[in-house]
């Protein structure tokens, strides 16, 4: 089970819009919708990290593992932000930590950790993280992600 992260450690925060069709019969956001919010946060984060140079037509990473902890339900009318940061990197992969947070109270509703692997779709194999990605991650996060492992 993922723990509540320190929100002050995140640089990337994006408001997400709750839609009526996101709500299930129990009156809260359906669990599967959380991943849509997390994906939107990832796209915003990558665009910020890569200084707007993301080529969305080129596959450079794939998701290898996702772990999500649901802490409190999100209900229609909540104002939700998705927080995203990279917590560590290795030669071929990196780990993103995300949180869905109620904007007014800063209540963490859910936490997600995603392992992403750098990938060559032609060779269908993992590859070493490109130097410009590593540089951009380190610059954006303000630390060397290979040396500083996840402390959250």
Q: What is the CATH number of the domain that holds 78?
A: 3.10.129.10
Host domain of residue 96: 7-141
The whole-model pTM stands at 0.93
- Residue 86's contacts (CB-CB under 8 Å, 6 or more residues apart) are 45, 49, 94, 95, 96, 97, 137, 140, 141, 145
Residue 146 covered by a domain = no
Q: What is the per-residue pLDDT across 112-147, written as a single tens digit (0 to 9) for each?
A: 999 999 999 999 999 999 999 999 999 999 999 886
Total number of domains in the chain: 1
Residue 78 covered by a domain = yes
Cα–Cα distance, 68 to 48 (Å, whole number) = 23
Q: Is 86 a residue whose pLDDT tops 50? A: yes
Residue 93 covered by a domain = yes
φ, ψ for residue 53 (rounded to 5)? -100, 20
The dihedral region occupied by 44, where left means phi > 0, alpha psi between -120 and 50, and beta the remainder, is alpha
Let me know how many helices (H) and strands (E) the chain has, helices first.
2, 6
Q: pLDDT band at residue 57, thresholds of 50, 70 and 90?
A: confident
- 19 in helix, strand or coil? coil
Q: What is the pLDDT of residue 148?
A: 53
Residue 147 covered by a domain = no
Cα–Cα distance, 70 to 72 (Å, whole number) = 6
């Amino acid at each position: 089970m993922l723990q509540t992260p320190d929100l002050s450690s995140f640089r990337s925060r994006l408001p997400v819009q709750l839609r009526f069709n996101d709500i299930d019969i129990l009156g809260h956001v359906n669990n599967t919708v959380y991943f849509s919010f997390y994906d939107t946060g990832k796209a915003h984060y990558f665009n910020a990290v890569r200084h707007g140079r993301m080529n969305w037509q080129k596959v450079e990473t794939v998701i290898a593992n996702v772990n999500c902890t649901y802490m409190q339900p999100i209900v229609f009318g909540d104002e939700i932000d998705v927080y995203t940061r990279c917590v560590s990197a290795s030669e071929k992969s990196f780990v993103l930590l995300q949180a869905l947070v109620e904007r007014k109270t800063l209540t963490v509703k859910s936490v997600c950790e995603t392992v992403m692997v750098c990938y060559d779709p032609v060779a269908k194999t993992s590859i070493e993280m490109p130097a410009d990605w590593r540089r951009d991650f380190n610059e954006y996060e303000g630390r060397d992600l290979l040396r500083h492992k996840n402390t959250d």
